[in-house]
Amino acid sequence: MRRLLVTGGAGFIGSNFVHMVLEEHPDCFVLNLDQLTYAGNLENLDGVMAHPKHVFVRGDICDLPFVEKLFDEHAIDSVVHFAAESHVDRSITGPKVFIDTNVAGTLALLQAASARDTTRFVQVSTDEVYGSLGDEGRFTETTPLAPNSPYSASKASADHLVRAFGHTWGLPYNITRCSNNYGPYQFPEKLIPLMINNARQDKALPVYGDGLHVRDWLFVYDHCTAIWKVLTDAKSGEVYNVGGCNEMANIDVVKMLLHHLGKPESLINYVKDRPGHDRRYAIDAGKTMRDLGWKPSVTFEEGLKQTIDWYIANQAWLDHIVSGDYQSYYDSMYADR
């Protein structure tokens, strides 16, 4: 049985990954380490908290002795590393914590993993490390790294550390670089859930700049299946780009959402642009498709419909975030310990 450490498994993508592994891969034990920052939410793990193959631990990836203890107590053999500060806007207003978590935190995990018989360390990175594209072309795995925001710079630094630990200490590793994800459990500070949340309350939808910035959207479940394939089938040392072949301008995404929600376009409000806003991201995922036989399972139209349906069916989840109640969930759950 695989004994997997998942970091950041109470966040958006991490929790979707934990659900997928427990449902689809019964031969895997998951130790879920998450600090429960503002972005971590135990309600994302409803239905699996008591699963016999899942243990949740609240803790900081930067705390090396604690991380080492977890590796030993749970006989961890592999790692999928999601834990991060992940929001570009926050990295512009407060970059320090991005270095602490994304760089120093990754370093601590690498130290713990490389000092043991870890069979695979999967670094979940982002297409944003490649910088911004013009009107043509797509990012491949050999595109030079040229990060533009403190967030992407911290992720690029972490990627370099992962590579260095592979080269210097022989740690078996992979790096995945994915485009923008959307789907259930995404914190409503990111474009799609923010717009759904605002629209359902008839609040203005803040579109940055001219709204013509392009992102390449991928349904979160499809990102999770790609990561699993990388963990289980990839050759060590390889980088894999993951994307949905689905480029859209932000304004078109927002209009599509309003259409699905039956809300008027008059809610759209063009606001001041993000400083240093990357114009276009687009992923060439050909290597991942060819080498690992991976492909996305849904079109953007289908995935967006499923996502909107999920947010409508789970209004309480959104309400708990808006009210701040989601952060007391841990305390109430563990009050007797």
206: contact with ligand TYD by CB under 6 A: yes
Q: Of 40, 156, 14, 149, which Cα lies nearest the Cα of 88?
A: 149
In whole angstroms, how close is the CB of 8 to ligand NAD at the nearest point? 3
| Interactions with ligand NAD, residue window 175-214 (CB under 6 A) | 178, 180-181, 187
Site string for ligand NAD, 71-110 (x = CB under 6 A): -----------xxx-x--------------x---x-----
Q: How far apart are CA 132 and CA 331, in angstroms?
A: 41
Residue pointed to by tokens 């979707």: 16
Nearer to ligand TYD, 153 or 191 (CB): 191
288: contact with ligand NAD by CB under 6 A: no
Select from ligand TYD, ligand NAD, none the partner in contact with residue 14, using the beta carbon and a kind-dependent cut-off of 5 to 8 Å: ligand NAD
Instruction: Say how far residue 87 (Cα) sits from the centre of its chain.
Output: 10
Rule CB under 6 A: choose which of 6, 124, 191, 231 binds ligand TYD. 191
Q: How far apart are CA 124 and CA 126, in angstroms?
A: 7
Buried b / exposed e across 235-263, counting CB within 10 Å, b at 16+?
A: eeebbbbbbbbbbbbbbebbbbbbebbeb
Task: Please report the sign of the dihedral spanned by the C-alpha atoms of residue 306, residue 274, residue 280, residue 264.
Answer: positive
Site string for ligand NAD, 7-26 (x = CB under 6 A): xx-xxxxx------------
In whole angstroms, how close is the CB of 117 to ligand TYD at the nearest point? 35
Instruction: Say how far residue 76 (Cα) sits from the centre of its chain.
Output: 22
| Interactions with ligand TYD, residue window 232-251 (CB under 6 A) | 250
Q: How far apart are CA 273 and CA 235, in angstroms?
A: 41
In whole angstroms, how close is the CB of 300 to ligand TYD at the nearest point? 14
Only segment of 90-98, 201-209, 256-264, 308-316 that touches ligand TYD (CB under 6 A): 201-209
